[in-house]
Structure 1
Amino acid sequence: MDSSLNALLLPAIMLVSGLPVLVAAVLVGRGHLHLINGLDASRLRDPAAAAARFARLLALVAIAIFASAPGFYWAHGDESRTLVVAALLLVAVNGLAVILLMAAAKIKREYRDPRADDRTGRR
């Protein structure tokens, strides 16, 4: 019994640790762009498209974390397998994080000037 519990511990931790990312993906998909590096949705040309893009990237991070759970279950007890799964998780999550940061930086560079915005009543 103790061995089977140990075999499930790391996969369970991975499943639980992916949940906050999945919640963030849902919230961002619903338009809470301020969760992404303080983005101001009112200054974006197409906030819905930005929300969809970031939600998709966050969901991919959650999927990568969730996919590591069966990998760690498969690797239980074998250090080389565990290392392979951990390296794949590292590459996947950090690669997606870099893409997410680059997308956020691109969006911020394309901010509209609030002084030229017709909705503010100023020019």
Structure 2
Amino acid sequence: MTIHDYLVPLAMAVSAVPILVSAVLVARGHVHLINGLDASRLPDPARTAATLARLLAATGAAMLLGGAGFHWAGADESRIAVVVTALLLAVNGLAVALILAIGAARRSYRERRGDEQRTQRR
């Protein structure tokens, strides 16, 4: 096997690292990294952070498994098609789940103390 046989699997593994680092940071409570969520306005920031971190970690794991799948596929076009299809379904499905989780977190925002006064003035 040459270096070219390892290039795509290695690229998939390297591209999964930022997502996995993000998952660790979000799990530690840095929910502001996800679309600017405000932890002080969430009813349960720890639960939200855990949910988002799990989804991010699952996305990173899917990408790592995709790299392993590309290594397994080698130059066989039918195997490559299977790996690409699985990656499309897994990563995009997890992205939709992440978007829905962020939307649910934003809908559960508590009002800030000054917000009631601002809305009454209008």
Judge same fold: TM > 0.5, yes or no: yes
Counterpart Cα distance in 2 of 1:90 and 1:32: 28
Residue equivalent to 2:120: none
Q: 1:107 aligns with which of 102, 105, 108?
A: 105
State the alpha-carbon separation in 2 of the partners of residues 96 and 60 from structure 1: 8
* Alignment of 1:23 onto 2:28: no
TM-score by length of structure 2 reads: 0.90
1:14 to 12, 15, 36: 12
Structure 2 residue ranges without an equivalent (≥5): 116-122
Letter in 1 for 2:82: V
Question: In structure 1, what is the Cα distance between the partners aligned to 2:37 and 2:12?
Answer: 29
Work out the CA distance in 1 between the residues paired with 2:114 and 2:48: 21
Aligned residue in 2 for 1:88: 86
Deviation of 1:116 after TM superposition, in Å, equals 7.4
Q: Specify the SS of the correspondent of 1:11.
A: helix
Give the alignment's TM-score, normalised by structure 1.
0.89
The alpha-carbon deviation at position 27 of structure 1 amounts to 0.5
The runs of at least 4 consecutive aligned structure 1 residues that moved more than 6 Å come to: none
- CA–CA distance in structure 2, aligned partners of residues 29 and 114 of structure 1: 24
1:44-123 mapped onto 2 (5 Å cutoff): 44-115=42-113
2:35 counterpart letter in structure 1: N
Count matched residues. Answer: 115
Amino acid at match of 1:110: S
Specify which of 39, 48, 51 is matched with residue 37 of structure 2: 39
Tell me the CA shift for residue 4 of structure 1: 2.5
Taking only the aligned residue pairs, the percentage that are identical comes to: 55
Q: Which amino acid aligns with 2:47?
A: A
Q: Which amino acid aligns with 2:11?
A: I
Q: Aligned equivalents of 2:98 and 2:84: distance in 1?
A: 21
In the alignment, the residues of structure 1 paired with residue 90 and residue 19 of structure 2 have an alpha-carbon distance, to the nearest angstrom, of 14
Structure 1 segments unaligned to the other structure (5+ residues):
118-123
